[in-house]
Chain A
Amino acid sequence: MRALIDYLRLARMYVGLNLRAQLEYRGAFVAQMAAMAVNDAVWVAFWSLFFSRFPVLHGWKVDDVITLWAVAAAGFGLAHAVCGNALVLATVIAEGQLDVWMLYPRALLPHLLLGRMSASACGDVIFGVAVYLAFVRPDAAHIALFAVLAAGVAVLIVGFDVLSASLGFYLGNSATLTDQWRFSMLTFATYPATLFRGAVKLVLFTAIPAAFINLFPVRALRSLSLADAALALVGALAVAAAGAAAFHIGLRRYQSGNLLTMRG
């Protein structure tokens, strides 16, 4: 428990420093946030157009899809605003930058993830929260649940980033492969879970764990279902654990120095 609180205080310090470093170039920072918000808005606009023509999609209505986008954007944004290095972990591994983080008296993975903040991710967070408040007009209970679920999505995303980047321990520079895997996850996660059946649905609970974003959180918020919320959070923790495990197994390989590519 004390270790967790200590880590959270460290995280708060990193967020503060990262934010201040970003604000040194205020214009570019705001521009990147705005760009991401525009990007997200286009998709919400698409769904609005779609649902204006086809009001119900397998039980989902426009509010559900917007909720999905809100939770996904807020969670994704939170993940990379705080743990920005998760986005570039494959490159960090490939370039031997793990070494400098290992010189600190801290657990390697949780510490190194904090080292960076993605400016566009901040745009995602603001968009997600704003869209949820403006379009769905939730009450206090829903807002509270939304916050918890967004945090869960953030944990899942970071865990998944780490899992996919761990390929880098075996493939040298896995950036392209990792990016494709992450892209698939992101895309599936922003479409209603009800679109998928059978084998694909199984994949969405395992190799591309998008179901814990596009299914349970939306169901939980639709009817304030704590059971669905719990499933979403359990899934997030499972993915995070898988990611951490994959990283540490790969790390042992890294430390024996027997990598595909020669390091510095």
Chain B
Amino acid sequence: MNRPSVYLHVGRTAARSHLAYLGEVAARATFLTVLLYIFLQLWRITYAETGADRLGGFTLAQMLWYLAMTEAIILSAPPVTPAIDQDARTGGIAVHLLRPISYPFYRLWVALGEQLVRFALNALVGAVLATALVGPAPLAARGVAMFLVAIPLAFTLDFTAHLGIGLCAFWLEDTSGLALLYRRATMLLGGVLLPIDLFPAGLRSALAFLPFRDVVYGPAHLFVQPDGDFLVRLLVRQATGVAALGLVAAAVYRAGVRRIHAHGG
């Protein structure tokens, strides 16, 4: 079995086991219905009160589709940190070291498999709801295409950050607190609830060096406002982020593995 097909197989297995959760679909649908309806009311009134046609460059319909897509992304996050934390803590990582595929890549493929399925479900439900609430106007082939192009690296970037956090299990008693902080930071600073265009200028520039906006805001923005330049810039930012965080995670990983070899796991 050659390497790519092994990864593919692992990814497909993880995806399939997730499709079995039909109950989750229903639960997700309720969740998103409540959330998107409330967002719609919030923004409908805001647009009416300010008398604006566009806010932050978005029309009302675009705003809601934007929020539907940010929610689809943020809700699809698989439990990466707990899995890695477990592996590091129990020394289960050692088992993976024996397999011919490298550990982080294995974990990445498992995470992507799970996340893509969840994301597809969320995006579908979100799209249906958004259409019902504001109509399908913002839905366009170009936007969807660019959105989908930006997604894989977005997920990989998020994964890489969580990989680094999970590997801290070599030293920390509990990584779930850190993971929660990171997730909440992504939610607030990644533009999940409010497009970054509407942030105060000072905050916007501060966020330029952080990866959050490239995981959520970037792709979702492309969905409602497809822009070739924006896409290219986003992909570069994502790749840079993956490289940077990847180096950090690799260093943590190597130090942790050295620790196992020293202490016998």
Contacts and interface: CB of A to CB of B under 8 A. Distances in A.
Contact of A191 (B42, B180, B181, B199): B42
B46 to A, nearest CB: 5
Contact of B193 (A27, A31, A46, A58): A46
Interface stretch (A37-45, A81-89, A135-143, A233-241): A37-45
B174 A187 contact: no
Contact of A31 (B46, B174, B187, B188): B174
A261 B247 CA distance: 53
A250 B19 CA distance: 34
Nearest to B33: A184
A87 to B, nearest CB: 17
How many chain A residues sit at the interface, stated as a range, is 20 to 34
Contacts of A98: none
B35 interface: yes
Contact of B38 (A34, A53, A176, A195): A195
B49 interface: yes
B126 to A, nearest CB: 16
Nearest to B56: A53
Contacts of A194: 45
A258 interface: no
Nearest to B30: A180
Interface residues of B, number: 29
Contacts of A35: 176-177, 180
A188 interface: yes
Interface in B40-83: 41-42, 45-46, 49-50
A195 B49 CA distance: 12
B49 A188 contact: no
B4 interface: no
Given A57-B46, A57-B49, A38 B180 contact: yes
B243 to A, nearest CB: 28
Given A39-B180, A42-B187, 6 more contacts: A34-B177, A38-B180, A46-B194, A53-B200, A57-B42, A187-B38
Please give me the 3 A-B residue pairs with the lowest Cβ-Cβ distance, nearest first.
A195-B41, A42-B184, A180-B30
Interface of A: 27-28, 31, 34-35, 38-39, 42, 45-46, 49-50, 52-54, 56-58, 176, 179-180, 183-184, 187-188, 191, 194-196, 200
18 contacts: A27-B174, A38-B181, A39-B180, A42-B188, A49-B200, A50-B194, A52-B200, A54-B46, A57-B42, A58-B45, A58-B49, A176-B27, A180-B31, A183-B30, A184-B34, A187-B35, A188-B38, A194-B45
